[in-house]
Amino acid sequence: MMNDEIKHSYLKTQNSGLKAQNFKKVCVLGLGYIGLPTAAFLANKGYEVRGVDVMQDVVDIINQGKIHIVEPDLNAFVKTAVNNGKLKAFTKPSEADIFIISVPTPFHENGHDIPTPNIEYVINATKSIAPYLKENNMVILESTSPVGTTEKVAETIRELRSDLFPQNNSKFKIQNSKLFIAHCPERVLPGKIMHELVENDRIVGGLTKESTEKVAEFYKTFIKGEVLKTDAKTAELSKLVENSFRDVNIAFANELSIICDKFGIDVWRLRELANRHPRVNILLPGVGVGGHCIAVDPWFIVANAKNEAKLIKTARDVNNYKTEWVIEKIKNEALEFEIENKKKPKIACMGLAFKPDIDDLRESPALHVAKRLTNELDDVVCVEPNISLKTIINSDGPKLELVEIGNALAVSDIVVFLVAHREFKDLEISGKKVLDFCGIAEKKLFKYEVGAKK
């Protein structure tokens, strides 16, 4: 069942504009957290959607009207779209009017101080659509991308399809392209994707003014938020800057938590007090910063502006350091327990996802902590209520032991809260050492969240 608010938004946008233009067939490349909701939403709006993913099992699950990720309300959209024949998934693209690229843009773990952006998935997806492109097609890059990537998409197409980039004065110019190529970054929040997909404002930045206009027209057919028009590079940087802003502010909160620990001050209380200032809004400290976006995107700026992006780089370092600091705190606690009790403690790691109430483990600092503890200490169990107990996590490293909440609390000596999942909120814990790195113990987080300013 779609929730009422989403259904309402959906109906309000339902007939706006689709008739006004001739673009009906959409090919979405990459059916993950961004591509699948987008594909399912467009299919529910009447577009004929060909969803493409290189993973055969993803394609098979979607064609059964099911989903392979956890996201509220998404299953209803996918089921309806597949049953109506509007959404079909394949491992290869085919001809369409609009191509949306929503493939991963991770970074290269090159062992250097500054990871570098990996746009290979974007380039491969672009190559895969090149044979099917026709004059007047739109090519929209939704993947979060370093500045200049949309231009690289155009260059890649030009190398394979020079017929779509006629020569002018014996020179190829992107401006002469017969395609409408633009970047439209996605800024949805996992857990609220189906709502934010419609409600959020969107930025459309074309390689030409005409591309911006055409692509903006397309987004206006299905979103309720405002469509803001700019050029491709500004659109690319705006997405990176949004996440860097978050990263810098979280770094401040994380640094504060370490300073408070040094002085024996409760950071949650301090935050509550400081936030009573009318122009102060300190974010929540945690185990670090994770996920596909905030922990990754700032590097896309730093890698290409090493000398200029000093604060952004420092924020990344502070947030990464917080995770190492948490590991050291837990190891010290384990050592103290061992000295006192003449036996090694059993440790329960509560939460593995990169933030509360989702199943996403990408770049998760909590997962990093659990892996390191499992590797370095004897007896560690993990709880992640959003993931099936049968899931094999960390297949290439030490096997993490996933258990139920009750089981973890029954067997452990030290309980470490890493993620403030709702399932942990009302737990009664006694006779154990509790280490709280996400403000959930004693329900502090929830009490303070009510009072904290947005």
What are the residue numbers of the active site? 239, 293
Nearest approach in angstroms of CB 24 to ligand NAD is: 21
Rounded least distance, CB 293 to ligand NAD, Å: 5
121, 165, 417, 424: residue in contact with ligand NAD (rule CB under 6 A): 121
Residue nearest ligand NAD, Cβ-based:
32
Looking only at the bridges linking them, the beta strands covering 202-206 and 227-231 are parallel
Among the listed ranges 180-188, 244-252, 409-417, 432-440, the one in contact with ligand NAD (CB under 6 A) is 180-188
92 binds ligand NAD (CB under 6 A): no
Which residue lies nearer to ligand NAD by CB, 50 or 161? Answer: 50
* Rounded alpha-carbon distances, angstroms, from residue 114 to 148, 319, 362: 19, 14, 19
Interface with ligand NAD includes 143 (CB under 6 A)? Answer: yes
Rank residues 2 and 295 by Cβ distance to ligand NAD and give the closer one.
Answer: 295
Residues 6+ away with beta carbon under 8 Å from 397: 371, 375
Of 89, 103, 179, 327, the residue at the interface with ligand NAD (CB under 6 A) is 103
**Paired strand residues for 281:** none
Q: Phi and psi for 334 in degrees, rounded to 5?
A: -65, -40
How many residues sit in the footprint of ligand NAD (CB under 6 A)? Answer: 28
32 touches ligand NAD by CB under 6 A? yes
Q: Is 190 in the site for ligand NAD (CB under 6 A)?
A: yes
Is residue 60 a contact residue for ligand NAD (CB under 6 A)? no
178-213 burial, b for 16+ CB within 10 Å, e for fewer? ebbbbbbbbbbebbebbbbbbbbebbbbbbbeebbe
At residue 73, the 3 state secondary structure works out as coil
> Which stretch, 181-189, 278-286, 344-352, 434-442, contacts ligand NAD (CB under 6 A)?
181-189
Q: Is residue 177 close enough to count as binding ligand NAD by CB under 6 A?
A: no
Residue found by looking up tokens 């493409």 in the block: 52
Query: What's the gap between Cα 282 and its chain centre?
Result: 22
Nearer to ligand NAD, 133 or 267 (CB): 133
Q: Does 358 bind ligand NAD (CB under 6 A)?
A: no
Q: Which of 6, 26, 34, 302 binds ligand NAD (CB under 6 A)?
A: 34
Element (H, E) at 268: helix 267-274
Are 374 and 380 a contacting pair, CB within 8 Å?
A: yes
According to the binding rule CB under 6 A, does residue 292 interact with ligand NAD? yes
Return phi, psi of residue 67, to 5°: -125, 155
Q: Which amino acid is at 274?
A: A
Q: Which is nearer to ligand NAD, 116 or 124 (CB)?
A: 124
Shortest Å, Cβ 441 to ligand NAD: 28
- Provide, for the chain, the percentages of residues in helix, strand and coil under a 3-state DSSP scheme, each rounded to the nearest 5: 45, 15, 40
Q: Which residues bind ligand NAD (CB under 6 A)?
A: 29-35, 52-55, 58, 102-105, 121, 124-125, 128, 143-144, 186-188, 190, 292-293
